[in-house]
Amino acid sequence: MKKVISFIIAIVAILGVYNTINPSNAIATSSDLKNKTVQIGGQPFGIKFYSEGALVTKVRENSPADKAGMRVNDIIIGINNEKVKDNEVVRNKIEEYKNRTIKFTINRDYEIIDLNIKPENHNGNYTVGIWIKDSCAGIGTITYYDESNNTFACLGHGICDKESTNLLPMAEGDICPAIIQSVDKAKSGYAGGLNGYFLDDEIGKAYYNSEYGLFCNKEIETSYKEYKVATKEEVKKGTAYIYTTVEGYNPKFYKVNIKPECHFFFDKMKEITIEVTDKELLKKTGGIVQGMSGSPIIQDGKLVGAVTHVFVNNPEKGYGILAETMIEESK
């Protein structure tokens, strides 16, 4: 059975004013990776992501939760000292206790807080006045497979709440292949996106939802082409290629230009600036679209990074993260 998905995992960057940090040919200096090699990805994947607890997405004004101090993006991790695994636990406990006071234990930016809230009868149902969610699904791109530790890395950024862009705490994540069926073409002011469906075969389990990528344990054998990982000083302005999939499952190389601007002092997800110059890709997608996050960037036969963001006002351009940063984060 296949599951059709149109919601795409991606963080979209709005084009802003920035300074050129390093106008020379080399973008940065770094430590030696000692001939580190990985298998490059480029394949689309689907994730079924389950958060740790229940994420508060909305708080009704003047509701019991609002009066008690609950906020959007609080994560409910316990009720009356019982662990909260999903939304259903929260709903059942509110119905069980009805108009009796309940102790909600929440995680607020990694600070654990207890709030005492008494449900109210609202339109015939007992409620504390919150909207919550515990899971999401989407499509992204695999960056590389690391045979040395049987893992693989994706996205180049973390999975975040769509409204707040805050990183979602992960309980577990199931990774499976995805097939790209169509593309919503990008244009100025609209990021576009890849649309596709999940296959049933699981290829791995996510173990770390990081600001700099989604990292997973590999459950399948892979034999894709190996590339050396470039160090920062090896990344330079000029011609490069992104390896990505915009139809089916098999990725292709598309020509891009690495620009001299870099941002590694400020935001590691925007360490590289790229511009799509490939006519075929521009015709198909209009540039970088949501779902390409994680697409490997190849220059001079080495993996230099992964696509992370698109400039909404100019989708032919976007940001990338250095492969070195992802390798270091995975340790």
Residue-wise pLDDT tens digits, 61-112: 999 999 999 998 888 999 999 888 878 889 889 988 888 999 999 988 778 9
Q: Tokens 């490939």 sit at which residue? A: 278
Q: Which residues contact 165 (CB under 8 A, 6 or more apart)?
A: 11
For the chain, percent of residues with pLDDT exceeding 90: 54
Instruction: Calculate mean pLDDT across residues 112-138.
Output: 87
Query: What amino acid positions are annotated as catalytic residues?
Result: 157, 278, 293
pLDDT of residue 317 exceeding 90, the answer is yes
Q: Choose among 96, 135, 136: nearest CA to 119.
A: 96
Architecture in CATH for domain 61-128: Roll (2.30)
d(CA 160, CA 178): 20
How many C-beta neighbours within 10 Å does residue 285 have?
Answer: 25
User: Taking the model in full, what pTM does it have?
Assistant: 0.77
pLDDT, average across residues 311-329: 92
- Domain(s) labelled CATH 2.30.42.10 in the chain stretch across 61-128
So what's the pLDDT on residue 159? Answer: 85
Q: How far apart are the first and last CA of the chain?
A: 35
Could you tell me the fold of the domain covering 3-49+136-330?
A: Thrombin, subunit H (2.40.10)
Residue 32: CB partners within 8 Å, gap ≥ 6? 231
pLDDT band per the 50, 70, 90 thresholds, residue 167 = confident
| Whole-angstrom Cα Rg for the chain | 22
Q: Which helix (H) or strand (E) holds 91?
A: helix 87-97
Residue extent(s) of CATH 2.40.10.120 domains in the chain:
3-49+136-330
